[in-house]
Amino acid sequence: MNTLASIIEPFLGSTGGLISALRAVQAEFGYLPEETEAVAGDLFNITRAEVKGVISFYHDFTRAPKGETVVRLCAAEACQAAGGRQFIANVERKYALKMGETSASKDLTIEPVYCLGLCSTGPAAMVGDRLVGMADAAKIEKTIERAKRERAS
Protein backbone atom coordinates (compact mmCIF):
# COMPACT_ATOMS: atom_id res chain seq x y z
CA MET A 1 0.00 0.00 0.00
CA ASN A 2 1.64 3.23 -1.15
CA THR A 3 0.06 5.35 1.55
CA LEU A 4 1.50 3.14 4.29
CA ALA A 5 4.93 3.19 2.68
CA SER A 6 4.89 6.98 2.37
CA ILE A 7 4.00 7.30 6.07
CA ILE A 8 6.67 4.80 7.18
CA GLU A 9 9.60 5.79 4.93
CA PRO A 10 10.58 9.02 6.77
CA PHE A 11 11.37 6.93 9.87
CA LEU A 12 13.74 4.48 8.19
CA GLY A 13 17.25 4.53 9.64
CA SER A 14 16.34 6.52 12.73
CA THR A 15 16.61 5.28 16.32
CA GLY A 16 13.18 4.04 17.39
CA GLY A 17 12.06 4.40 13.80
CA LEU A 18 9.69 1.44 13.80
CA ILE A 19 7.77 2.64 16.84
CA SER A 20 7.62 6.18 15.46
CA ALA A 21 6.45 4.87 12.10
CA LEU A 22 3.73 2.75 13.72
CA ARG A 23 2.56 5.77 15.72
CA ALA A 24 2.40 7.82 12.52
CA VAL A 25 0.36 5.13 10.77
CA GLN A 26 -2.03 4.93 13.70
CA ALA A 27 -2.34 8.72 13.78
CA GLU A 28 -3.30 8.68 10.10
CA PHE A 29 -5.81 5.82 10.18
CA GLY A 30 -6.86 5.67 13.84
CA TYR A 31 -5.56 2.09 14.01
CA LEU A 32 -2.94 -0.12 12.34
CA PRO A 33 -4.35 -1.67 9.15
CA GLU A 34 -3.68 -5.39 8.63
CA GLU A 35 -1.06 -4.79 5.94
CA THR A 36 1.04 -2.63 8.29
CA GLU A 37 3.11 -5.61 9.43
CA ALA A 38 4.08 -6.62 5.90
CA VAL A 39 4.84 -3.09 4.66
CA ALA A 40 6.80 -2.09 7.78
CA GLY A 41 8.67 -5.40 7.77
CA ASP A 42 9.71 -4.96 4.14
CA LEU A 43 10.79 -1.35 4.59
CA PHE A 44 12.69 -1.91 7.86
CA ASN A 45 14.09 -5.23 6.53
CA ILE A 46 12.74 -7.21 9.49
CA THR A 47 10.24 -10.04 9.73
CA ARG A 48 6.50 -9.55 10.04
CA ALA A 49 6.79 -11.40 13.35
CA GLU A 50 9.17 -8.76 14.68
CA VAL A 51 6.75 -5.99 13.69
CA LYS A 52 3.86 -7.91 15.22
CA GLY A 53 5.90 -8.31 18.42
CA VAL A 54 6.34 -4.56 18.71
CA ILE A 55 2.65 -3.94 18.00
CA SER A 56 1.50 -6.47 20.59
CA PHE A 57 3.98 -5.24 23.23
CA TYR A 58 2.78 -1.63 23.25
CA HIS A 59 -0.80 -1.34 24.47
CA ASP A 60 -1.37 1.98 22.69
CA PHE A 61 -1.33 0.29 19.31
CA THR A 62 -4.67 -0.96 18.11
CA ARG A 63 -5.53 -3.30 15.24
CA ALA A 64 -9.12 -2.15 14.80
CA PRO A 65 -10.79 1.24 14.60
CA LYS A 66 -11.91 2.61 17.96
CA GLY A 67 -15.19 4.29 18.67
CA GLU A 68 -15.75 8.00 18.29
CA THR A 69 -15.46 8.29 22.09
CA VAL A 70 -12.90 6.19 23.93
CA VAL A 71 -13.51 5.58 27.63
CA ARG A 72 -10.50 4.31 29.55
CA LEU A 73 -11.32 2.80 32.93
CA CYS A 74 -8.52 2.51 35.47
CA ALA A 75 -7.94 -1.10 36.48
CA ALA A 76 -4.91 -0.45 38.72
CA GLU A 77 -4.81 -1.53 42.35
CA ALA A 78 -5.47 1.90 43.88
CA CYS A 79 -8.66 2.30 41.87
CA GLN A 80 -9.70 -1.29 42.59
CA ALA A 81 -9.32 -0.57 46.30
CA ALA A 82 -11.64 2.43 45.87
CA GLY A 83 -14.42 0.37 44.27
CA GLY A 84 -13.00 0.17 40.78
CA ARG A 85 -14.11 -3.37 40.06
CA GLN A 86 -17.75 -2.52 40.74
CA PHE A 87 -17.37 0.76 38.82
CA ILE A 88 -16.04 -1.12 35.77
CA ALA A 89 -18.84 -3.68 36.01
CA ASN A 90 -21.42 -0.87 36.20
CA VAL A 91 -20.02 0.90 33.13
CA GLU A 92 -19.80 -2.36 31.17
CA ARG A 93 -23.42 -3.17 32.07
CA LYS A 94 -24.67 0.36 31.26
CA TYR A 95 -23.18 0.30 27.75
CA ALA A 96 -23.46 -3.46 27.15
CA LEU A 97 -19.74 -3.58 26.33
CA LYS A 98 -16.82 -5.39 27.91
CA MET A 99 -13.35 -3.94 28.28
CA GLY A 100 -11.66 -3.77 24.90
CA GLU A 101 -14.91 -3.70 22.93
CA THR A 102 -16.34 -1.10 20.56
CA SER A 103 -20.04 -0.59 20.09
CA ALA A 104 -21.62 -1.79 16.84
CA SER A 105 -22.45 1.83 16.03
CA LYS A 106 -18.73 2.71 16.41
CA ASP A 107 -19.58 5.57 18.77
CA LEU A 108 -17.98 4.13 21.94
CA THR A 109 -14.96 2.04 22.93
CA ILE A 110 -14.27 0.95 26.50
CA GLU A 111 -10.74 -0.08 27.37
CA PRO A 112 -8.62 -0.64 30.46
CA VAL A 113 -5.80 1.61 31.52
CA TYR A 114 -3.38 0.95 34.34
CA CYS A 115 -3.05 4.28 36.12
CA LEU A 116 -4.17 7.74 35.20
CA GLY A 117 -2.36 9.41 38.11
CA LEU A 118 -5.60 10.02 40.00
CA CYS A 119 -4.95 7.41 42.67
CA SER A 120 -6.23 9.60 45.50
CA THR A 121 -9.54 10.17 43.70
CA GLY A 122 -10.25 6.67 42.45
CA PRO A 123 -11.93 5.07 40.80
CA ALA A 124 -10.68 7.04 37.85
CA ALA A 125 -11.41 7.16 34.16
CA MET A 126 -10.58 9.11 31.05
CA VAL A 127 -13.28 9.99 28.53
CA GLY A 128 -11.56 11.18 25.38
CA ASP A 129 -9.01 13.59 26.82
CA ARG A 130 -10.97 14.38 30.00
CA LEU A 131 -9.90 12.90 33.32
CA VAL A 132 -12.69 11.85 35.67
CA GLY A 133 -11.96 11.28 39.36
CA MET A 134 -14.31 9.65 41.87
CA ALA A 135 -15.93 8.21 38.80
CA ASP A 136 -19.19 6.36 38.60
CA ALA A 137 -21.37 5.33 35.67
CA ALA A 138 -23.43 8.55 35.87
CA LYS A 139 -20.31 10.76 35.69
CA ILE A 140 -19.06 8.77 32.72
CA GLU A 141 -22.41 9.19 30.95
CA LYS A 142 -22.40 12.97 31.54
CA THR A 143 -18.83 13.28 30.31
CA ILE A 144 -19.61 11.25 27.17
CA GLU A 145 -22.64 13.44 26.45
CA ARG A 146 -20.58 16.62 26.95
CA ALA A 147 -17.93 15.31 24.52
CA LYS A 148 -20.63 14.53 21.94
CA ARG A 149 -22.14 18.03 22.24
CA GLU A 150 -18.72 19.64 21.83
CA ARG A 151 -17.96 17.55 18.74
CA ALA A 152 -21.32 18.53 17.25
CA SER A 153 -20.72 22.26 17.70
Instruction: Give the pLDDT confidence score for residue 2 in this predicted structure.
Output: 59
Mean pLDDT of 77-102: 95
Mean pLDDT of 43-53: 95
| Mean pLDDT (the chain, rounded) | 93
Instruction: Give the pLDDT confidence score for residue 146 in this predicted structure.
Output: 92
Domains in the chain, ordered, with CATH?
Answer: 2-57 (no CATH), 69-152 (3.40.30.10)
Mean pLDDT of 20-46: 94
pLDDT of 99 above 60:
yes
Integer Cα distance of 153 and 150 in angstroms: 5
The whole-model pTM stands at 0.75
Closest CA to 97 of 33, 144, 146: 144
Instruction: Give the pLDDT confidence score for residue 105 in this predicted structure.
Output: 93
Q: What residues contact 137, with CB distance under 8 A and at least 6 apart?
A: 87, 90, 91, 94
Q: How far apart are the first and last CA of the chain?
A: 35
